[in-house]
Structure 1
Amino acid sequence: MSVLNQKTVFVLDHTQYFGISSEKPIDLDFFKNKGSLCPLSKSLWTFSVESSLEYCRIVWDLFPAGKLVRLIVSDSAAHVVNTWNSSTQNISYVTNAMSMVGVPQSSAHSSDHSVIHGLRAAIDALAEPSESQKEFDQKLQNKGRVICITSARDDKSMVSLEDIFHTVLAQHNLLATKQNDCLPINLCHLVIINITPMHMGLLVSTRGPQEISPHLTSEIHSVYASEVSSKLTHLILSHFDLASTTVTGIPMKEEQNANSSANYDVEIFHSKNSHTVIFGSEFLPTSVKEGSEYETVTLKWSTPRGCGTNDFQLCLAQDRVTPVDVTSRPSSCLINFLLNGRSVLLEMPRKSGGKQTSHLLSARGGEIFIHSLPLTRSCFEDFPSISEGSGGKVIDYRIADLSNLIKSNTLLPLKSSTERRYDENLQKARIKLCKRSTYFPLTLGLTIVYNMQSYLESLLTAIGKEELNDSDINQCQQIIFSILGLTNRQEPLPISLCQRFRSSKKEEQFKLLWNELELLIQSSGNSTGHKAVLLSLRECKMKCSEFSNNKPEVNQSINEIENLRENINNNIVIKATTDSPLSPILFAESASKSKRFLPYCGNRSLLGIISSSQKKVLQKRIEFSGRICTPTGQTAKLYPNVGKNERHPNKL
């Protein structure tokens, strides 16, 4: 047994304390006024038995076989209610047996009454092999869960109860190693539920799961007696990996007035797989009911119809269901409706608006099932043609490459040999297939490398080998260097098929190409040759990144143009006599002569480079001396000495 829910043992405290009232009055409806009546309330024992029987009913409804539950009553001694035999694993047998136990007598005071007797018997019950365990000769992992419903005074009493249980478990495992008639308990999960009347406070603290030892995990829950049923309902979801679904909007006729109808809700339990199989449960609408501690998925009742065979072909999963409140009128009406051969569709709201059918409720063989319906295209529909693609949009599948991959990894039968280890060839085949399929784009629109197969054919063939020789390495490096040249020259890539990459920018194309080549070579192998090719590719990729980073900065190119321009200007005769030596240089003639010497400067044009250079030269021009000498805010005089010689004619 590999899970804890294969065996579950309930230990019910039957001491005299459980005969007291829970102080929770029962709500009664009277058609006529009966006057003042004494309030009625259930005892702690009644709440304890009802909640444990409800736990058993849910387990046996959802798991008719394989999940075993036993009940033990503890007072002055341990009283075993049922066994691991399948004939005693039903609600009728347990109910009849519990009816003979009766309510604890408050007058029977004795120091021998204790829940410890039941805990000792629970360990012995877990050690007994079940019918399925007896079928196996070898010993399996024996795991189980013990749920104890009792009442303690304080936390120290609860810790003492855990210590006693741990000591008895350790002693049993020690004896089980020397005996063959009982199984050792590999792991036990102890769940203690402490209940008290309503007028008393919760004297025991709630504690989550805690590992006491490698063989024992314990947790404590402290609740009022009226809430023990809700607590066990919450715990059963995690114990058996269940989920809750609430069917809302069920139209039902009123019991008092048959002409009118109202909408009701019914909560059902089932396996969690019914929710998670539909893209995970996060896509389903959830809510928390009042007084509950868990979430429930709310699905709306849809128009019922007859149950046909076509309704079940599209199911992703099917699981048994059971109502949470089996005695309520809405639950009874829904069960009878389904058992009469009708089916109910359940709808979930869409984020974009509207509704979509997600589940189906139907009955077969007297049992009710919930079917999870696919929200996307069904696998039972006709497959799309490869020429059309999925939905008529995908038309560039790499069919030929996939066919070659299958042929290169086809396995043939081989005679067994003592020199070869078992499963040696299969392991090699798995490793080879894993390398080849680690990176395998399904369509040409997802790859740029396989759109250049004619250009990269020798590289793709070489890296597909287990080992690369010097010739293969040189051949791969030559192709990588040629790609580096294309990148530096910004020449278009030889992409012949995919229109998606044709319309993208050259920088994006080269970036995708280098990244995809690195991923492809890295996933092809770990040999010395593969590492050498990968190292060469990364070095070239770094050079390309440096080139792209430096390309926006064309200062070096501008400096070369300026130096070239100065050499040319030294040989030019100044034609305009009005130009002063500090006038800006005219570049019309020099530009035409030096055009063939200009280096590559990225996407900038020659006019842009010369214009930017000319602006720098203008910025270096000597400022007008009058403007420099004049204080800020005043106007500089162009000829400040004009008129001085006229006022003093005798001075030269």
Structure 2
Amino acid sequence: MSYPVEHKTVFVLDKGPLFARSCKQSIEYDVMSKTKTPGIIPAAPIMKSMWTCNVETLIEYMRVVFDIFPAKRMIRVVVGDEVLNEWQQKDQNIQQVMLALGQAGPPEPKSKEDENVVRGLTQAVQVLCELTPLQQELDRDLIHNKGRIICLTTAKSESQMRAFEECVSDAILQHNQLAEDSDSMLPISHCELVLIHVTPVGDETKITERQSREISSYLNGEVHVTQSGKFLYNKLIQLVQSHYGLSSTTVTGIPMKEEQNASSSANYDVELLHPSQAHDDLMKSAHSDGLVIASKEGLPTESVTLKWCTPKSNIVELQYCTCAARITPVDVNSRPSSCLTNFLLSGRAVMLEQPRKSGTKVISHMLASHGGEIFIHAINTARSLLEDPPSISEGCGGRVTDYRINDFKEFMKENRLAPALPEMMTTGTNYLNRAKTHLERMSRFWPLVIGETIIFNMASHIDPLPTIIVKEKLDDEDVLECQKAIYHVVGMETRNEPLPSSSAGPRGKGPKRDEQYKQMWAELESLIRAHADSSPQHQRVLECLLKCKKPTDDARSSPKKTKEEKSEKDPSTDQSYAWHELDRFQKMTEKEKQEMNKSEGGASSAKKARLSTDETQFKTKAGAGNLLSLWTDRIKSVHSKRHVEFSGRAQSDGNQAELYQNLNKQLQENSGMEVSTSSQKGMGIQKKM
């Protein structure tokens, strides 16, 4: 069991004579000089000492930690070789530390240089070896003791900084040896050393900053360089955010009345610090762009901007939240921070929305107090985890509603994951990859919507083919079962049995039966082909399907077309039809025969000529002595009896008749030319009948 590094923090303050100097940053306090009244001499500027700046930044660091983490985060202060407070909860407060600092007093400017920093670092290592109340509750043999040392000092050179690091490393090694034989001390398993080199404002320094590096197996060290005054404050606030995982939120647009004019109001901004978990949902979403800005308090950090909304008096009506964390203002003494704090402590809640240029506002956070402490609540902008999922079976607005919900439930049961047993971890098999492979094989062909499938709606007819075909390996019995299912579908198509309709038309009519079978065969082939490469047995099932599918394609043609093709290929059909027509004609009465003759008497000679040509062709094809020739002769005799012969053919002596005979006579009379009989025949228009 181990607490994090931030569980134990020790501050070491350098009380050397250099910190008795001025920080060289003046304090504005003369209000009268701003009125520019003549005759008033401005007051002399006041500057804090570097020791005062160190104490103020230390108190601000402790205030932020104690406001957000009232327990489990402890800080002790060491000045020289004197420890100002203990790990007990009663000493973990700012009042106790300020009282002890007042008793210690400021450094003497004329005091001699001494080794107070070295003694302070050694004392800090000893303090880290002591047990906190939380560590005393645990078994000391199982505790990993971790901590952090922050030293505010001024070094003359880089070698002196390295000497400080070596001092801490040697002290940890010595105290770990002592802690092994002591019941009241714990050996240090890991320590972070933060050395902050502080100089007066405007002075140059020869010390360079260094990022965190490993000094030994149990010690990491880093060096920071900063100026005193406001710069030191900004550096400590930046460090407290990185040490304790804090984030910043700037509340903008806070309405507040002016001090000079109570009738008017203005908008102010307040920057708050809190654990970074309050921004987790915001950073995961795609709405964080444009919300992160630079700190308005001048800190070298970034802040998330949220806008003030109308306060809500009834907290019960507010939305649910996913995270609640304590907050503390960055500038606790400013008027906007004080007004916001008092407003929240009065029992009111403030909603915070994400500032957007367009669209509806999104309320993502809320400020409210509980038991005298102010919390920031992260409101989930997505669907609540406590709500029931939306019903996909009751859609509106044209949404898809016919999902295969029950089938998907079974699909999830067949592909669920479970923790691996201890004996399975020693086999060397990657069960996660095997589960992914199984899921990929099961989902190669799996329609989501009922209207997009036929074979999964007729499971009783093709079972167990869909269940067997998704297996990784098949045996001969599985192949036989799949073939039986395919043959059963072939029998259904032969008997012309209806299939379950996958989709209905605009008037409620589904596709035609032949189209249904065509879609069913295509879908069944897609299912089997998706797994055909798994094994040779899968390929045998696909070959069986293709063999059974080919004749069904020919059988799926229309019955009318089949009869026509059969009549063209089989002459016996024509002979049967001829005998049937002959029997029907002989059974007719005389009146029916006359009516039939009248209806057929208006046929044109060209049609009869084609009929005679067809008869000749049929006769040639069928032969001279077959039944077809007898029938055609019979039909020809019937037509000849009721047909009136063309007068030109009746008067001509052959198959040619001269047309427009009077035309040549008129030409001879008009021109007076004699035309021979041969030329007349040549100019005459002849037509072969």
TM-score bin, normalised by smaller chain: 0.5 to 0.7
Q: 1:108 offset after TM fit, Å?
A: 1.9
Unaligned residue ranges in structure 2 (runs of 5+):
487-499, 506-510, 512-518, 544-689
Q: Quick one: structure 1 residues 531 and 100, their matched pair in 2 at CA, closer, same or farther if it must change by over 3 Å?
A: farther
Q: 1:355 offset after TM fit, Å?
A: 2.6
Q: 1:175 offset after TM fit, Å?
A: 3.8
Alpha-carbon RMSD across the aligned residues, in angstroms, is: 4.3
Aligned residue type for 1:23 = K
Pairing 1:603-622 to 2, within 5 Å after superposition:
none
Q: 1:447 offset after TM fit, Å?
A: 12
Partners of 1:266 and 1:253 lie apart in 2 by 15
Query: Which position in structure 2 is the counterpart of 1:232?
Result: 236
Aligned residue type for 2:112 = H
C-alpha contact (below 8 Å) 1:452/1:495 kept by paired residues: no
Q: 1:155 offset after TM fit, Å?
A: 1.9
Q: 1:387 offset after TM fit, Å?
A: 1.3
Q: Quick one: structure 1 residues 435 and 176, their matched pair in 2 at CA, closer, same or farther if it must change by over 3 Å?
A: farther
Residues 1:356 and 2:362 aligned together? yes
Report the 3-state secondary structure (helix = DSSP H, G, I; strand = E; otherwise coil) of the residue aligned with 1:168.
helix
Query: Which position in structure 2 is the counterpart of 1:107?
Result: 110
C-alpha contact (below 8 Å) 1:245/1:267 kept by paired residues: yes
Q: Quick one: structure 1 residues 396 and 436, their matched pair in 2 at CA, closer, same or farther if it must change by over 3 Å?
A: farther
Q: Quick one: structure 1 residues 476 and 362, their matched pair in 2 at CA, closer, same or farther if it must change by over 3 Å?
A: farther
Query: Which position in structure 2 is the counterpart of 1:39?
Result: 45
Q: 1:116 offset after TM fit, Å?
A: 1.1
Q: 1:18 offset after TM fit, Å?
A: 0.8
How does the TM-score come out when normalised to structure 2?
0.63
Partners of 1:107 and 1:147 lie apart in 2 by 26
Query: Which position in structure 2 is the counterpart of 1:94?
Result: 97
Query: Which position in structure 2 is the counterpart of 1:306?
Result: 313
Partners of 1:209 and 1:498 lie apart in 2 by 70
Report the 3-state secondary structure (helix = DSSP H, G, I; strand = E; otherwise coil) of the residue aligned with 1:100.
helix
Partners of 2:23 and 2:271 lie apart in 1 by 27
Pairing 1:267-286 to 2, within 5 Å after superposition:
267-278=271-282, 280=284, 283-284=287-288, 285-286=291-292
Greater share of helix: 2
Pairing 1:450-529 to 2, within 5 Å after superposition:
453=456, 461-462=467-468, 468-471=473-476, 496=502, 517=530
The CA deviation string for residues 409-452 of structure 1, in whole angstroms up to 9 with x for no partner, is: 8999xxxxxxxx87879x99x97977766788799549999886
Pairing 1:167-316 to 2, within 5 Å after superposition:
167-226=170-229, 227-278=231-282, 280=284, 283-284=287-288, 285-289=291-295, 291-311=298-318, 313-316=319-322
C-alpha contact (below 8 Å) 2:469/2:538 kept by paired residues: no
Report the 3-state secondary structure (helix = DSSP H, G, I; strand = E; otherwise coil) of the residue aligned with 2:29.
coil
How does the TM-score come out when normalised to structure 1?
0.66
Q: 1:399 offset after TM fit, Å?
A: 2.6
Aligned residue type for 1:401 = D
Aligned residue type for 2:32 = F
The CA deviation string for residues 465-488 of structure 1, in whole angstroms up to 9 with x for no partner, is: 6x7453378689999x9xxxxxxx
Q: 1:103 offset after TM fit, Å?
A: 1.2
Query: Which position in structure 1 is the counterpart of 2:25?
Result: 24
Query: Which position in structure 2 is the counterpart of 1:365?
Result: 371
Q: 1:258 offset after TM fit, Å?
A: 1.4
The CA deviation string for residues 501-529 of structure 1, in whole angstroms up to 9 with x for no partner, is: x9xxx9xx99xx799958xx9xxxxxxxx
Q: Quick one: structure 1 residues 411 and 266, their matched pair in 2 at CA, closer, same or farther if it must change by over 3 Å?
A: closer
Aligned residue type for 1:186 = S
Partners of 1:189 and 1:515 lie apart in 2 by 63
C-alpha contact (below 8 Å) 2:3/2:145 kept by paired residues: yes
Query: Which position in structure 1 is the counterpart of 2:336?
Result: 330
Partners of 1:233 and 1:534 lie apart in 2 by 71
Q: Quick one: structure 1 residues 534 and 444, their matched pair in 2 at CA, closer, same or farther if it must change by over 3 Å?
A: same
Partners of 1:11 and 1:85 lie apart in 2 by 19
Q: Quick one: structure 1 residues 460 and 341, their matched pair in 2 at CA, closer, same or farther if it must change by over 3 Å?
A: same
Partners of 2:96 and 2:503 lie apart in 1 by 73
Q: 1:401 offset after TM fit, Å?
A: 3.1
C-alpha contact (below 8 Å) 1:319/1:369 kept by paired residues: yes
C-alpha contact (below 8 Å) 1:202/1:223 kept by paired residues: no
Higher alpha-carbon deviation: 223-232 or 85-94: 85-94
Query: Which position in structure 1 is the counterpart of 2:628?
Result: none
Q: 1:270 offset after TM fit, Å?
A: 0.7
Aligned residue type for 2:15 = H
Identity rate of aligned residues, in percent? 39
Partners of 1:100 and 1:404 lie apart in 2 by 75
Aligned residue type for 1:4 = V
Partners of 1:180 and 1:534 lie apart in 2 by 72
Report the 3-state secondary structure (helix = DSSP H, G, I; strand = E; otherwise coil) of the residue aligned with 1:190.
strand
Q: Quick one: structure 1 residues 351 and 256, their matched pair in 2 at CA, closer, same or farther if it must change by over 3 Å?
A: closer
Q: 1:404 offset after TM fit, Å?
A: 2.5
Partners of 1:385 and 1:261 lie apart in 2 by 49
Q: Quick one: structure 1 residues 514 and 102, their matched pair in 2 at CA, closer, same or farther if it must change by over 3 Å?
A: farther
- Displaced runs of 4 or more, over 4 A: 380-383, 389-392, 405-412, 421-425, 430-460, 472-479, 494-499, 513-518, 530-537
Query: Which position in structure 2 is the counterpart of 1:69?
Result: 75
The partner residue of 1:129 within 125, 128, 131 is: 131
Partners of 1:100 and 1:166 lie apart in 2 by 31
Q: Quick one: structure 1 residues 331 and 169, their matched pair in 2 at CA, closer, same or farther if it must change by over 3 Å?
A: same
C-alpha contact (below 8 Å) 1:198/1:225 kept by paired residues: yes
C-alpha contact (below 8 Å) 2:464/2:482 kept by paired residues: no
Pairing 1:594-609 to 2, within 5 Å after superposition:
none
Q: Quick one: structure 1 residues 349 and 178, their matched pair in 2 at CA, closer, same or farther if it must change by over 3 Å?
A: same
Report the 3-state secondary structure (helix = DSSP H, G, I; strand = E; otherwise coil) of the residue aligned with 1:361.
strand
Partners of 1:222 and 1:536 lie apart in 2 by 74
Query: Which position in structure 1 is the counterpart of 2:8?
Result: 7
C-alpha contact (below 8 Å) 1:345/1:360 kept by paired residues: yes
C-alpha contact (below 8 Å) 2:469/2:528 kept by paired residues: no
Q: 1:394 offset after TM fit, Å?
A: 5.4
Residues 1:140 and 2:146 aligned together? no
Report the 3-state secondary structure (helix = DSSP H, G, I; strand = E; otherwise coil) of the residue aligned with 1:57.
helix
Residues 1:118 and 2:120 aligned together? yes
Aligned residue type for 2:293 = S
Aligned residue type for 2:250 = T
Q: Quick one: structure 1 residues 515 and 155, their matched pair in 2 at CA, closer, same or farther if it must change by over 3 Å?
A: farther
C-alpha contact (below 8 Å) 1:302/1:344 kept by paired residues: yes
Q: Quick one: structure 1 residues 239 and 392, their matched pair in 2 at CA, closer, same or farther if it must change by over 3 Å?
A: farther
Aligned residue type for 1:59 = V
Aligned residue type for 1:377 = R
Unaligned residue ranges in structure 1 (runs of 5+):
413-420, 482-493, 522-529, 541-652
Query: Which position in structure 1 is the counterpart of 2:648?
Result: none
C-alpha contact (below 8 Å) 1:397/1:444 kept by paired residues: no
Report the 3-state secondary structure (helix = DSSP H, G, I; strand = E; otherwise coil) of the residue aligned with 2:393.
coil
Partners of 1:232 and 1:180 lie apart in 2 by 35
Q: Quick one: structure 1 residues 157 and 438, their matched pair in 2 at CA, closer, same or farther if it must change by over 3 Å?
A: farther
Query: Which position in structure 2 is the counterpart of 1:605?
Result: none
Q: Quick one: structure 1 residues 182 and 477, their matched pair in 2 at CA, closer, same or farther if it must change by over 3 Å?
A: farther
Partners of 2:481 and 2:237 lie apart in 1 by 66
Report the 3-state secondary structure (helix = DSSP H, G, I; strand = E; otherwise coil) of the residue aligned with 1:186.
strand
Q: Quick one: structure 1 residues 458 and 234, their matched pair in 2 at CA, closer, same or farther if it must change by over 3 Å?
A: farther
Q: Quick one: structure 1 residues 305 and 201, their matched pair in 2 at CA, closer, same or farther if it must change by over 3 Å?
A: same
Q: 1:66 offset after TM fit, Å?
A: 0.9
The CA deviation string for residues 204-249 of structure 1, in whole angstroms up to 9 with x for no partner, is: 1111111222211111110001211101111111111111000011
The CA deviation string for residues 547-594 of structure 1, in whole angstroms up to 9 with x for no partner, is: xxxxxxxxxxxxxxxxxxxxxxxxxxxxxxxxxxxxxxxxxxxxxxxx
C-alpha contact (below 8 Å) 1:314/1:380 kept by paired residues: no
Higher alpha-carbon deviation: 102-111 or 116-125: 102-111
Aligned residue type for 2:77 = L
Partners of 1:109 and 1:406 lie apart in 2 by 78
Report the 3-state secondary structure (helix = DSSP H, G, I; strand = E; otherwise coil) of the residue aligned with 1:171.
helix
